[in-house]
Structures are given as C-alpha cells and as structure tokens.
Chains A and B, each alone.
Chain A
Amino acid sequence: MVKNKGKILVIEDDEQMVNFVKKVLEAHSYQVDSAPSAEEGLKKVKELSPDLIVLDVMLETRGEGFITAQKLKSTDPESEYREYSHIPILMLTAINAEMKFRYSPETDGEYLPAEDFVEKPVEPSELVQKVENLLASKAPS
C-alpha cells in the first residue's frame, strides 16, 4: 500500500483507540505514528514534523490534551514549538464529554487550540473526512 497522502501523529493513551485510528487512516493511505503520552507526543512532533496531529483530550489527566495543544499552538516567539504551530490538530473527545468544549471552528477557533474535533465513539468515515478536509485546507499555503 502506498503511504503518501500525509504523515499523521496520534497522541492517545488508549492503545486500542490508537489501533483504531491507525487502521482507519492507514486504509486511506496515510502514514500513522503514535505516542502514548503528552510528553512523548511533543517529542515526536519535533522528530517527525507531521502533517496533522490527532490528539486525545483526556490523556494522563482530564484536559491534558488541551494543554498539549496550547503548547503546540503557542504564539510566543520564544516557544520551542514555534515552527510546528501551523500543524493542524484534530481533537478526540468523548461524546459531549465536557459540554463546554462543544466545538465550532467559527466561534471557538480563537481560544480553543485545535482546528477541529471528532467525538468518541468515532465514526470512521467522519474521521477520514475531517482529516482530508484539514489537510486540503492546509495544502495551498
């Protein structure tokens, strides 16, 4: 199988969920890497410089995913992730997990450090669709 549609990093502590994302995205010709924690995820971002990051909201602690995304998207010129801040982030959340985090790119984009959300349980077609959209909107730049 040709894996040329893009490099995707999955930061998720649930191994079974990683398998799921891998299975779906690899079937659609993406190259998928994974990291089981926020710390390793950040390391891998530097290592691999992926085209897109799939990030779980709940890692070791609730909301850790948000902190990680905030680090990656920091506008601070001193930030060590400055050169990675353009990488789109797709967040995974449990259904209505935190109702407050119900996401809409138009209204929440300013303060939520992610380009889009997918709710768990994940519908495979929705995941593929969102990944494709994010990579397409990024492509022209």
Chain B
Amino acid sequence: MRPNRKEIEVPASLPLEEELIRQIEWFIRQRWAAGAGSIALFWVMRFVLNLPLPLLPLYAISGSVLAYNFLFHQYAQKLEAATPHRLGSFSRFANVQIVVDWGALTLVVHYSGGIESPLIFFFIFHVIISTILLSQRAAYLQTTLAAFLITLLALIEYYRIIPHFHVLSILSERLYRDPGYLLTFLLFFTGTLYMSTYLTGSVSKRLREREKDLVMLKKNLEQAYHKLEESDVAKSEFVMMVTHELRSPLSTIESTLKLFLQGYAGDLVDEQTKLVRGIEQRTRFLLNLVNDLLHLARVKAEKFKKEKAKINLKEIVERVSRSIQTGLKTKHLNLQIDLPSSPVMLWGNEDEMELLFSNLIGNSVRYTPPGGSISVKMAKENLQVKTEVSDTGIGIATEDSSKIFEEFYRAKNAKKMVKAGTGLGLSIAKKIVETCGGKIRVKSTPGCGTTFTFYLPMDEQ
C-alpha cells in the first residue's frame, strides 16, 4: 500500500494525567535503585568508613522498602490497566507512596544517628520528588509531615523515649541532648525543607505551564494545517470548475474557426486565412492551457479523494505509445520500449498514470529534432518500479533543470523550439509521481538529450 501522510499524534489522555502516570513509573523505578543503593551504602558506611551502624535494622528497612515497592509496582500496573484513567486515584497513590517513604526514611535516620545522621539530607531529595509529583497543596502537606516526623524523632530521642545511636564519633556524644543546638537544627532543617518545596514547586509549575502552552500550540497548528488542506482542496475544486466552464466555449470557438479554415463558410482570401489561422493557433493554445490546468487541479484535488485500482503500468506505456504514433512518424523519430516480461502492478489512478507517461513521452516527441530517438525503459527494483524516459532532444540547461518542474516555467530553448507550450506538463508529472509516493529526477546534456527517471512504489502480491 502507499505510504500515508504522517498524522499528527493527539494524546489520548490529558497531559497532566499522562505526566503523573509516567512519573509514578519513574518514582517506582527510583525506589528500586534507592532500596538497592541503601544496602550498598550501609555496607560502605559500616565496613569502609567504620561507622558503628546497627546493620540489622537498617537492612530490615532496605528489605521492607524493596518489598513495599514491589506491592506499589503491582498496584501501579493495575491502575494503568484500568480504563479510563482517573487522575484522582493516581495522585492518591502518589501521596500514599510518599507517606510510606517518610516512615522508612525516618527509621533510617533514627538508626543512623538521629539528627546527627548524614542520611538526613535524603529528606530534602524526597521533598523535591514529592513536589514534582504532587499538587502544590499536597506537596506542602507532605513537607509538613516530613518536618513533623523529624521533629518528633529528635524530641523522643531527646527525652530518651527511644535510644539514640551515636554514629559520627567526631561529633559530641551529647549533641542530640543540647536544646539550643536541637532548636537551631530543627529550625534550619525545616526551613530548608520548605524552601526546597517552594523552589521546586515554582520551577515545575513554570514547566507545566510551558507544556500546556505547547499542547495548545500543537492543537492550533493542527487546526491550521487542516484548514490549509481544506482550502487547498477548495482551491483545486474551484480551478476545476472554472476550467470546465472555460473549455466549453473555447472548444466551440476552435471548432468554428476550423469551419472558416476549411472553407465551410465560403472561401477566404489569403489575408483572411492568415488572420484566422493565427486566431485558431491562439485558441488551441488556450485550450491546451485550460486542459493542463484542469489536469493539475485534478491531480491536486484527487490527492484526497482518488479513484484507485490495481493497474498494470506495461499496458499504460503500450497505450501511450500507440497514441503518439502519428507524432513519431511525422518527425521520423524512433521509439524504443524496454519493459519487464512480467506485469508491473501498481496501486493508483489509471488516468493519472496515463497522463504521467503521455506528458513525459510527449515532451520527448516535442523537443527531439527529426530523426532522433526516444527510449522508455522500465525495470523492477525491490518494491519499486524504475522508469527512464530518454531522448536525443535539445536537452535542458543546468540553470533550468531545477526550475522545469515549477508551474508555468518553460526553458528558453524549449520556447524557441515549440512556441506554444503551457509549462505545466512537467509539474503535473511531478505531482502525479509524488502523490503516488514516488520520486522523479532529470539528467540532461544540452544539445544531446534528456533522461527523466522516476520511481513508483509497486503493489505486487
């Protein structure tokens, strides 16, 4: 089948919800790393740094973190499988995870030295993560919970309700019992937690707003794109309508002029014949122009609604070559056709394919001086068919070769050789090749000849 234009992807769910789902997955992945990392960390602290850590309870906490993370992982998959996704259940889930983490983290801090513990800084990391994940209000509540837990831990250790583990020997063993130090520490620590929440919150809010803008921008772009597409079709339809209307009276004028030239309206004197012939030529040019415009508009309009079928390109080439026999004979041109032995099947519009070949081969007939030769070579290459239309014609100057596919462009030497030409034939050919998902290129040596090579996707089954 033919490749379709890339559709713009529209997200299935709201960006905020999508983001939370993604981040919950990320959060759970981070916890795997944290759980495993903590085991290594405790080992290093105990055996490399020689700190007197109670390894058993700490490893028990690491194990529990991994265990409850497994449960979270299971639950997250269940939530994601359920459709439609509900933002509420995801944010509740995130809150629960963070609360459980606070518990584990407080225990870790307790067993690694309470307020002296170097691991207490992990609270700041966790505040940052929770602020990224949650709404602003929930983030401040979580931070308050964290501050409360640390304060609670410090106080119950201070009042010796639970034992204090002295880990860092350089610090005074009595530090946790010093009310002045305790108060200062808790103030600064709590302040740091709230500052982190505030800073992270404002950064992620800005990021979210920018993302919202991006989504809006994308939507607007999509709309503008569709509108452009529609107006392009409308324009082509308008051109089709106008050219249809123009063609009918032009045909009548042309037919009537032939009456004069062929003596049906009485004999004309030489002067009259000359004038009428001039008019007839101009009229024929107009008719050709109108026809080419109609073809072009049709190719453009039908990009969106084309009658397509499986067609054999070999038959098309044979038909076109039959239709140009008169032209070949009058100019004594030799036409060589080299086609594959098996049918060349293609999914496309038959009229367009015929137009493509008759435009290219017709050009060769037009721009090759008498006695020259034209060749059409077709070969299958992988899933494509490669066609070469070559001639020994006047050729195309290098500076023209990039412009010849433009609408209405005619090369100087072409104008010199054939006065009346619309400059639309090649742009029609290019449009046809491209709407089929193919490519066309030209190679030419001025004065020696031209080769048009084009590739079209095949439909062979």
Question: Nearest Cβ distance between residue B57 and chain A, in whole angstroms?
Answer: 86
Q: Does B248 contact A (CB under 8 A)?
A: yes
Picked from A16, A23, A94, the residue with its CB within 8 Å of the CB of B265 is A23
Question: Nearest Cβ distance between residue A24 and chain B, in whole angstroms?
Answer: 6
Query: Are the C-beta atoms of B251 and A120 separated by less than 8 Å?
Result: yes
Picked from B248, B254, B258, the residue with its CB within 8 Å of the CB of A58 is B248
Question: Nearest Cβ distance between residue A130 and chain B, in whole angstroms?
Answer: 14
Q: Mark A87-119, 1 if CB is under 8 A from B, else 0.
A: 000000011110110000000000000000000
Query: Are the C-beta atoms of B252 and A95 separated by less than 8 Å?
Result: no
Q: Which residue of A lies closest to B298 (CB)?
A: A99
Residues of A within 8 A of B251 (CB): 17, 94-95, 120-122
Given contacts A23-B259, A100-B351, A121-B258, contact A14 B264 (CB under 8 A): no
Size class of the A contact interface (CB-based, 8 Å): 20 to 34
Query: Are the C-beta atoms of B262 and A124 separated by less than 8 Å?
Result: yes
A118 to B265, CA, bound (A): 21
Q: Does A27 contact B (CB under 8 A)?
A: yes
Query: Are the C-beta atoms of A14 and B259 separated by less than 8 Å?
Result: no
Question: Nearest Cβ distance between residue B257 and chain A, in whole angstroms?
Answer: 8
Question: Nearest Cβ distance between residue B423 and chain A, in whole angstroms?
Answer: 19
Residues of B within 8 A of A24 (CB): 259, 264
Question: Nearest Cβ distance between residue B139 and chain A, in whole angstroms?
Answer: 67
Q: Does B50 contact A (CB under 8 A)?
A: no
Query: Are the C-beta atoms of B255 and A17 separated by less than 8 Å?
Result: yes
Q: Does B287 contact A (CB under 8 A)?
A: yes
Which chain A residues (109-141) contact chain B, with CB distance < 8 Å?
A: 120-125
Residues of B within 8 A of A58 (CB): 248
Q: Which residue of B lies closest to A100 (CB)?
A: B351
Question: Nearest Cβ distance between residue A46 and chain B, in whole angstroms?
Answer: 28
Question: Nearest Cβ distance between residue A122 and chain B, in whole angstroms?
Answer: 5
Q: Which residue of A lies closest to B295 (CB)?
A: A96
Query: Are the C-beta atoms of B256 and A16 separated by less than 8 Å?
Result: yes
Query: Are the C-beta atoms of A14 and B258 separated by less than 8 Å?
Result: no
16 pairs of residues in contact across A and B, judged by CB atoms under 8 Å: A14-B248, A14-B252, A17-B251, A19-B256, A20-B255, A20-B256, A94-B251, A95-B251, A99-B351, A99-B354, A100-B351, A121-B252, A121-B254, A122-B251, A124-B264, A125-B262
Question: Which residues of A does B touch, CB under 8 Å?
Answer: 14, 16-17, 19-20, 23-24, 27, 58, 94-97, 99-100, 120-125
What 8 new A-B contacts, CB under 8 Å, besides A20-B252, A123-B258?
A: A14-B252, A20-B259, A58-B248, A95-B247, A121-B251, A121-B258, A122-B251, A122-B255
The 4 A-B pairs at the shortest CB distance, nearest first, are namely A121-B254, A120-B251, A99-B351, A121-B251
